[in-house]
Structure 1
Amino acid sequence: MENGAVYRPTTEEHPGPARGPRSGLAAYCFLGRLKWPRRVLKFLQLVLSLLAFICEEVVSQCTLCGGLYFFEFVSCSAFLLSLLMLIVYISPLYDRVDADKVKLSDFYITLGIGCLFLLASIIFVSTHDKTSAEWAAIVFGFLASVMFLSDFVIMFCEKREESQLRKPETTVRTEALTEPLNA
């Protein structure tokens, strides 16, 4: 018997990425790692921070530019970090990295961005020149900070529920210990 006849019915060639119900880029994306409300919040964070950045970039001149520059830095950083976290959650990279580390990073990144975006929006409100592009950037900035902070609150509640589920019940012994230890 030749080797080809033995192995032919039991082996299969490498299936490749186009095999199965999904093909192309969709075969590598999995949205099920995030629950529906968090998935929507992540998408809104991404879109609103991008819109805030775009509206801020349209501003052609400013008198007090410090608030504008800080808002620019925070909105661009928020967009890039939220894009990074969304890519990690939906790509196969999530399977290669420890899931607890991804969730912990997302927890702190979301809190930091939410607080900085809120601070940058408040500073930008106090230093802007009242043009329509600045007002739009401020509105998108406040909306994005609300999305980041609400996502943080949801993650905090989930983390708290998870820690209470893992916490073992403590049983208190009511009877007195009267037996000697070396009996």
Structure 2
Amino acid sequence: MRSPEDLLEGLDGEASSASMISGASSSSSPYQPTTEPVGGGQQRHGGRHHRRGAFLGCDPTYLAGTFGRLKIAQVVLALISFICIETIMECAPCEGLYFFEFVSCSASVVTGVLLLMFGLNLHERIPQINWNITDLVNTGLCTIFFFIASLVLAALNHKKAAEIAAVIFGFLATAVYAVNSFLAVKNWRINSRQQNTRQTSDYMRARTESRDVDHHPEIERLDG
């Protein structure tokens, strides 16, 4: 027969082994609720901030794409037009020159800002603004005003080389802005059509499911 001391040692061994098994099963079970310390939450929160900060950087996909190249060409042409018109020291009359100067300067600044916003992913920092519509409005207005300014300057030019160059670059900028506006409107229509199709399909699916429930009330009773 086993002594009382041996029985106690056996019970202690079984208890310890049972506790080890239960601890292992609880730690390996995927359905156990997991809790993290406060420090872990702070680290994860900091990591989330770090991922947001990763948006700040050059976006080669946009810059190498069609709209990125068009935006770069717009800034370059508008800036060259402004430089050409700034080299003219004498004019009479000067209204056409001043108007072209204002249009080329404004277009280069606003388009340059939009290029930075899209090229560096800064527009994702301000989701409250619809940047696609903003860009479309800018390209449309620049197309109209650059065309008018170039036409007026061509009609009132004084046969100077800088003035002729400004007119040429002004019409080139008008063409680039017009192409950008056309492509932007085309993409906007395609996206709107896809969104309407998706909404229609969701509506038809919901109506079909409601009709199935009306024709088969036992389905609703089973779900309840």
Superposition TM-score, scaled by structure 2 size: 0.62
- CA deviations on 1:122-154 (whole Å, 9 max, x unpaired) are 111111111010000000000001111110000
Superposition TM-score, scaled by structure 1 size: 0.75
In structure 2, distance between residues paired with 1:152 and 1:62: 33
Residue 130 of structure 2 aligns to a residue whose secondary structure is helix
Residue 167 of structure 1 aligns to a residue whose secondary structure is helix
Q: Which residue of 2 aligns with 1:93?
A: 122
1:126 and 2:155 correspond: yes
Greater relative contact order, per chain length (Cα 8 Å cut-off, separation 6+): 1
Question: Taking structure 1 as reference, are residues 99 and 152 closer, same or farther at Cα in structure 2, changes over 3 Å only?
Answer: farther
Q: Which residue of 2 aligns with 1:80?
A: 109
Q: Which residue of 1 aligns with 2:80?
A: 51
In structure 2, distance between residues paired with 1:99 and 1:125: 41
Quick one: which of 63, 66, 74 aligns to 1:37? 66
- CA deviations on 1:97-117 (whole Å, 9 max, x unpaired) are 228701110010110111101
Q: Larger Cα Rg: Structure 1 or Structure 2?
A: 2
Count of paired positions: 154
Q: Percent identity?
A: 31
Cα offset, 1:92, TM superposition: 3.8
Equivalence map 1:137-176=2 (5 Å) = 137-168=166-197, 169=200
- Paired amino acid for 1:77: S
**Any conservation in 2 of the 1:64–1:128 contact (CA below 8 Å)?**
no
In structure 2, distance between residues paired with 1:58 and 1:132: 10
- CA deviations on 1:28-86 (whole Å, 9 max, x unpaired) are 22132467111111010000000000000011211110000000000000000110100
1:70 and 2:138 correspond: no
- Paired amino acid for 1:81: V
Structure 1 unaligned regions, length at least 5: 1-6, 16-26, 172-183
Deviates more, 1:161-170 or 1:82-91: 161-170
**Any conservation in 2 of the 1:49–1:75 contact (CA below 8 Å)?**
yes
Q: Which runs of 4+ in 1 moved over 2 A?
A: 31-35, 168-171
**Any conservation in 2 of the 1:117–1:145 contact (CA below 8 Å)?**
yes
